[in-house]
Chain A
Amino acid sequence: DAKTTQPPSMDCAEGRAANLPCNHSTISGNEYVYWYRQIHSQGPQYIIHGLKNNETNEMASLIITEDRKSSTLILPHATLRDTAVYYCIVRSAGGTSYGKLTFGQGTILTVHP
C-alpha cells in the first residue's frame, strides 16, 4: 500500500472549515484513500473513503486531485468535538489484503472556540 504524508498538527476555529491535507504521491490505480479519526481514549472512527471522484457524506467531504497524488478532507463547520487525530490511509481493494489497514501518525486537529 502507498505511503501517506500528513502534517503532524493543525488548528482550526470553531465554525470554520477544517481542511486536512494528505499526500500519497505513489498511489496506484486500484488504491483507495480512506480517512479515519480518533478522539481521545476512543477507537478510531471511519469517516469517508474514495477512489477518484470527490465524495461527500454527513460527516465530511473528500477531495482527490485529478492525478490522485493528494487529497483533502474537509470538515465544513468544525466543532470542538471534531478535535481528534485524523488518519489518511491508502490501500488496495484487490488481492488478498483482507481489508488490512496500516495507520500512520496522522494529523492532530485542534478546534479552538
Chain B
Amino acid sequence: DVKVTQSSRYLVKRTGEKVFLECVQDMDHENMFWYRQDPGLGLRLIYFSYDVKMKEKGDIPEGYSVSREKKERFSLILESASTNQTSMYLCASSSGYGTGVINGYTFGSGTRLTVV
C-alpha cells in the first residue's frame, strides 16, 4: 500500500536541463517536503509546503523551485541542472500543524538523480 509515490527511481539528466521531480501522496496530508541526501551530509531540507500554493524555503533552496497546485502533488524543479545536484531526492508528507502533535512523516522511496 504505497502512500507517497515518487515518479522515478533513477534519472539521468544533462547539465543545463530543466528537471521535474514529482511526488504524490494519497493520505490527504497538509504538509509535503523535499529533501536531498548525500553521503556524509545526511538529509537536508530543500523546500516544504504546508498548503496548496504555499511554499517555504528549507535549508538549501538555491538552484531549486517547487510547485504545489494540488494538495496531493508536490513538484521539485531544477531550473538548470548542475553536476552538484547529483543526489538522492526524497519526498515526504505529514499531517498536523501548529499546536497539534505532528505525526510521523511518510517518505517516498526516493529518486536517484545523476546529472552528467
Contacts and interface: CB of A to CB of B under 8 A. Distances in A.
Given A93-B100, A93-B101, A105-B42, A98 B56 contact: yes
A95 B90 contact: no
B107 A44 contact: yes
Nearest to A42: B109
B45 A42 contact: no
Contacts of A91: 102
A98 B106 contact: no
B48 A98 contact: yes
Interface stretch (B11-19, B61-69, B72-80, B91-99): B91-99
B105 interface: yes
Name B's interface SS: loop
A49 B90 CA distance: 21
Given A93-B102, A99-B94, A103-B43, A45 B31 contact: no
Interface residues of A, number: 26
A44 B106 CA distance: 8
A103 B35 CA distance: 10
Contacts of A99: 31, 50, 94-97, 102, 105
Interface in B24-56: 30-31, 33, 35, 42-43, 45, 48, 50, 56
Given A100-B33, A106-B42, A43 B102 contact: no
A32 B102 contact: yes
Given A102-B45, A103-B43, A45 B107 contact: yes
A74 to B, nearest CB: 18
A98 B108 CA distance: 19
A98 B97 contact: yes
Contacts of B90: 43-44
Contacts of B101: 32, 93
A34 B104 contact: yes
A7 interface: no
Cβ-closest 6 pairs across A and B: A46-B104, A43-B107, A103-B43, A98-B50, A99-B102, A99-B94
Interface of B: 4, 30-31, 33, 35, 42-43, 45, 48, 50, 56, 58-59, 90, 92, 94-102, 104-110
